[in-house]
Structure 1
Amino acid sequence: MADFAAVVLAGGRARRLGGVDKVMLPVQGRTLLDRTLDAVPDADPVVVVGPQRPTTSAVRWTTEDPAGGGPLAAVEAGLRLVEGDDGVVAVLAADHPHLTAGTLDRLREVLSSDPRARGAVLAEPGDRAQWLVGVWRLAALRRAMPEAVENRPVRDLFAPLEPHHVPATTAEVSDVDTPADLSRARTRSP
């Protein structure tokens, strides 16, 4: 049973980046995927949802069914490989180059400080939730998971859980969707 687990979404088509395998792009000497895995060193298990690729961390691999079913289907597929309901799980996109273990520690602290809270997510300026940088109680996610998950946004699952919003303190909230984002990530310090 997981006390702290992680589900990392590493699929997608990266259309705005010309269809490259985005999570394998290097940023400051590490792939985006490995940088994300570095942020959850104490998670067990770490489940990566997407095609298998080389990583520097031990992970369990899975894919959503059907493949390409979207981010909510990927979350559901990842949760199937996490046992139990009592722990917490980080749900992360693999394209946040400046995410750190400290970011996840802050989210976990906020969640643990409120026994009624079902989740804590990183918030961009203006208090906009970054749904794929969050920590959630497993039981809450399992109860709230809709039956139909294909091609649905993750906010359909996460927003009704009314998570705490934790303000980003650095570039930790930045993601890579475009060539300009990649360029900024390669030159910016966390």
Structure 2
Amino acid sequence: MDIDTWWGLVGRAREAAGDRADDRDLPEDPLPGALTDVLAALDPAEIVGFAVTADEVTASAYRWPLWNAAYLIEGGCGDDGFMDFRDGLALLGREVFTRAVADPDSLAGLPVVVRMSRGESGWIGYESLDGPVKAAYARAGGTADGFQAAVEAADRGRIRAGEPGGENWDAEDAEATRLHLPRLAALFLD
């Protein structure tokens, strides 16, 4: 699936979720269900294409500066947490995602991040895009056990990054964080 089609499908799900599309911490988060509905209208092969492109999208955010921003925002962030963060970041839409990958400090402008800095409810992450995608695959007539095999077959040969890209610094070093992420540091450290 090409990237424009992929982001278009995420955009359609966001439109269906309405004004509650930007925060994964709601008790009844409407976006995963909206994404499942949008994807279920596709054929199973297209849904597999969506899953493969989702892996490519989130892999593009596998960068130290973004990981350090997630660490600051979430008060810590390990491997699994950063996968969740990247999945949730993709659900925020193309513009927010692209801007955050290029400049993680831009996350300081998101209302959910501002709320989190004040200790209020909120979360960017999403446990796994696989859940809504698998549910859509099943609704579109694909078999539950065939989904993973189909994704692996479609994804065969792709080279995965071993280490995150970009400049790294000690995420617990407040001065380094202030230097690299001044807006986020102002919210979470000052």
TM-score range, shorter chain: under 0.3
- Would you tell me which structure has more helix in proportion to its own residues? 2
Higher relative contact order (CA 8 A, sep 6+): 2
Q: Given the two structures, how large is their TM-score scaled by the length of structure 1?
A: 0.27
Larger Cα-atom Rg: 2
